[in-house]
């Protein structure tokens, strides 16, 4: 039986130490990227959930508008109910009521937190087909909603659409969604506002944006990382459109 040489054993140990050192160095380099990837997956998952919730909330807002003469206050109420699940922290009736209360009285009360744009019917359609003195008195103009199948289908001179198309309520909702996942929220915020210092650790407003979006002022005011999400919905009016 031959004994192993001391030099060979030392060389093997040295190679093993160098291998472990190289692996540790590679791990240290890859770890931040892996962490950022995991956080990004979480944040984009939350963004997908928020967009799906906003789609539902926009439909609820449109339905409320269709049932209430296209009033902005009614659409805001429907939007608040639809967005409430984003702020529900417990199951049950109490959790739902708390989320709705927060959404209605705090979240949507923040300046520029949301915007509801009525795409159809336009003011031109109201000018073409608006009538006063039919249901709401002599001072309120509204687009008739009854017996539409028997009404003239000729497009209006100002709007270019018929009275039937004027009874389609189409809205666009823009909502400023707040991101909470660390590092990723700052990066997405910087990219969407075209901030050169993507990896800035300061609060919103520290770095100058080249193209601030609709949520930048609110983010700066409250120190949050908000980005605009948009959704559209279209429903048929169930009441005469008055707007306002």
**Could you report the per-residue pLDDT of 57-103, keeping only the tens digit for each?**
999 999 999 999 999 999 999 999 999 999 998 888 899 999 999 99
Residue 174 belongs to a domain: yes
Which residues have a Cβ under 8 Å from the Cβ of 124 and sit 6 or more positions away?
Answer: 156, 158, 159, 160
In a domain, 27, yes or no: no
Asked if pLDDT for residue 22 goes beyond 70, the answer is no
pLDDT for 12 beyond 60: no
First CA to last CA distance, the chain: 100
Domain assignment present for 66 = yes
What percent of the chain lies above the pLDDT cut of 90? 67
| Residue 160 belongs to some domain of the structure | yes
Structural domain of 171: 36-236
Reference 76, options 175, 182, 190, 200; nearest CA is 175
Instruction: Report residue 21's pLDDT band, with 50, 70 and 90 as the boundaries.
Output: low
Q: What is the DSSP letter of 88?
A: -
pLDDT of 3 higher than 70 = no
Query: What element of type H or E holds 127?
Result: helix 123-129
Label the pairing between strands 114-120 and 168-178: antiparallel
| Range name among 20-24, 136-140, 201-205 with the lowest pLDDT average | 20-24
Report yes or no on 70 lying in a domain.
yes
In a 3-state reduction of DSSP, which class is residue 151? coil
Write the CB contacts of 220 (distance below 8 Å, at least 6 apart in sequence): 204, 205
Give me the pLDDT at residue 122, please.
94
Q: Which of 4-18, 86-100, 125-139, 229-243 holds the top average pLDDT? A: 229-243
Taking the C-alpha atoms of residue 108 and residue 106, their distance in angstroms, rounded to an integer, is 6
- Please list the residues that pair with 118 across neighbouring strands: 171
Number of domains present in the structure of the chain: 1
DSSP 8-state assignment for residue 10:
H
CA distance 75 to 93: 23
Q: How far is CA 90 from the centre of its chain?
A: 22
Domain annotation covers residue 6 = no
What is residue 5's predicted lDDT score, i.e. its pLDDT?
58
Residue 217 resides in a domain: yes
Q: In this structure, is residue 117 part of a structural domain?
A: yes
* Beta pairing, strands 141-142 & 131-132: antiparallel
């Amino acid at each position: 039986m031959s004994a192993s040489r001391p030099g060979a054993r030392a060389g093997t140990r040295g190679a093993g130490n160098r291998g472990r050192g190289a692996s540790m160095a590679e791990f240290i380099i890859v770890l931040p990227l892996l962490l950022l990837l995991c956080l990004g997956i979480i944040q984009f998952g939350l963004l997908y959930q928020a967009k799906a919730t906003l789609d539902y909330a926009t439909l609820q807002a449109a339905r409320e508008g269709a049932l209430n003469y296209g009033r902005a206050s009614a659409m805001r109420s429907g939007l608040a109910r639809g967005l409430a699940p984003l702020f529900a922290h417990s199951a049950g009736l109490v959790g739902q009521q708390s989320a709705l209360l927060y959404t209605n009285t705090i979240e949507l009360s923040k300046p520029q937190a949301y915007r509801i744009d009525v795409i159809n019917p336009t003011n031109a359609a109201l000018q073409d087909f608006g009538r006063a003195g039919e249901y709401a008195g002599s001072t309120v103009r509204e687009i008739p909603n009854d017996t539409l199948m028997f009404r003239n289908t000729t497009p209006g001179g100002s709007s270019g659409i018929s009275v039937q198309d004027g009874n389609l309520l189409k809205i666009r909702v823009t909502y400023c969604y707040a991101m909470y996942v660390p590092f990723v929220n700052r990066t997405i915020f910087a990219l969407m506002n075209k901030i050169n210092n993507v990896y800035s650790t300061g609060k919103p407003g520290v770095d100058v944006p080249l193209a601030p979006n609709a949520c930048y002022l609110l983010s700066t005011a409250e120190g949050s990382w908000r980005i605009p999400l948009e959704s559209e919905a279209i429903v048929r009016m169930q009441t005469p459109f008055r707007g306002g």
